[in-house]
Amino acid sequence: MDSEINSKANLQDILNTLEVDRKKIAETYQTSYILFGLALVILLVGLFIRFVALGIIGCLVPLIIGIVMYFRIDEDVKKYKLTYKMSVVGAALKDINDTLTITPQSGLPEYEFISSELFTTRPDRYKTQDLISGIADKTSFWFAEVHAEYKTETRTKNGTRTEWHTIFKGIVFVADFNKNFEVSTVVRPKSFGDSIGAWFSKNVFSFGNTEVVQLENIDFDNKFVTYSRNQIEARYILTPAMMERILDLNSKSDDTISISFIHSKMYIAFPLSHNYFEPPIHSSLLVPDLLTSDLSIVQFMQDIVHELDLNTRIWGKE
């Protein structure tokens, strides 16, 4: 009991210290924004009174000061965010599961994102962060935020225009399925097939010898398309109970999930627009619901192990 009280007291001390840092950062940003606004006003006044040169010269002083302040605070912001994630989020995770850890500067490696076969497009730009890992009973699991994009280039009169398109933005969850699958089985949203043509030139999922698996759950087949190179193994994985659990899990997600079973792992992609585990800068840290949203998504991810009954070891790794 004493250790729990001491832990909460230490966390409060950390939050109090970080709140001082947050206010300094927020005030610096606010001052920078004011200087940017002042530079714009001076420039507009110069244009209005037809002293363009005076307006340009006059706006440079607050503009340069604002830019210097904005970028000088960058290292403090990085330190503030890292401390928050390691000390505040890291401590809060222990209340859910003592094995949970967060590694802010790590994530899901790009090669694993590609080898999961959840997507048909190879990323041209890939960002990942905030790797959280743990063990629920017998099952190891981990997940991270991922933003993968591909680019298209269009020739114009002035050269080449590059546009970036999102392949996936959200959380990719990985769990040990305790079975070495002979082939890959991939479950994608029904609507996913509509966009395959646009990405076909960068296809990374081989459709050779791959068949659409017809399953006995009509609701499941209406929501998802299942691909596999082994119909028997696919049905062995996607039992009636597993399909019902996946449908139930999908109903709790904001958007339709994608799942793959490859080697000895299960991958689940959850499309999400919210960026989790980031500390506030322009609002206080000292509020009771500070971590509510972040911890709810962690609890949701951990519950997948129970939702899909991954702790029932019906197979053993060969």
Q: Indicate whether 60 pLDDT > 70.
A: yes
| Cβ–Cβ under 8 Å, residues 179 and 140 | no
Identify which of 293, 213, 196 has the alpha carbon closest to the alpha carbon of residue 260: 213
Q: Is the separation of the CB atoms in 189 and 220 below 8 Å? A: no
What pTM was computed for the model?
0.82
Beta bridge partners of 101: 133
Q: Which two tokens stand for residue 265?
A: 């792992």
pLDDT tens across 144-159, in order?
A: 999 999 999 888 877 7
Question: Which residues, 6 or more positions from 176, have their beta carbon under 8 angstroms from its beta carbon?
Answer: 139, 140, 141, 264, 265, 310
Q: Residue range 6-30: average pLDDT?
A: 86
Confidence of residue 169 (pLDDT cuts 50, 70, 90): very high
CB atoms inside a 10 Å sphere around CB 177: 21
Look at strands 139-156 and 125-136 and give their pairing: antiparallel
Separation CA 292–CA 285 (nearest Å):
12
Q: Using one digit for the tens of pLDDT, what is the confidence trace for 63-87?
A: 899 898 888 899 999 999 999 999 9
- 234-267 pLDDT, tens per residue? 888 888 888 998 998 888 887 889 999 998 899 9
What is the rounded CA–CA span in Å between residue 36 and residue 180?
Answer: 58
- Cβ-count burial 40-73 (b if 16+ within 10 Å, e if not): eebbeebeeeeeeeebeebbeebbebbeeebeeb
